[in-house]
Amino acid sequence: MPIELLAQWGQYARLLNEGRDWFLDVFTPDEVSAMRTFDMVVQNFNRIRGYHIFDVPEIFDDKEWSKLKYQGNNLLSIISKS
């Protein structure tokens, strides 16, 4: 599950980082900022974990995954307000 979630985010991150107008135009500046922050956390997670990603339930005890989950919740909270 964690690998699949990161892969899904990878598609959004690609559009975000390529600056695709048709993608970015549907988001507010605060949402784009939250997406960029989340992407930095994902990149940091990938840099630390590399290809060694725990699966459920072990991932839930991982400190870096907790940071990623917290920032993901923040992103969803910001997007849900719009």
Where do the structural domains in the chain lie, given as residue ranges?
A: 2-80
Based on the number of CB atoms within 10 Å of its own CB, is 60 exposed (0-12), middle (13-18) or buried (19 or more)?
exposed
Residues in the chain: 82
d(CA 72, CA 2): 13
The structure tokens 């969803």 sit at 76
Q: Please tell me which residue, 51 or 34, carries the higher pLDDT value.
A: 34
Confidence of residue 51 (pLDDT cuts 50, 70, 90): low
Q: Please tell me the pTM assigned to this model.
A: 0.84
- Mean pLDDT to the nearest integer, 29-46: 93
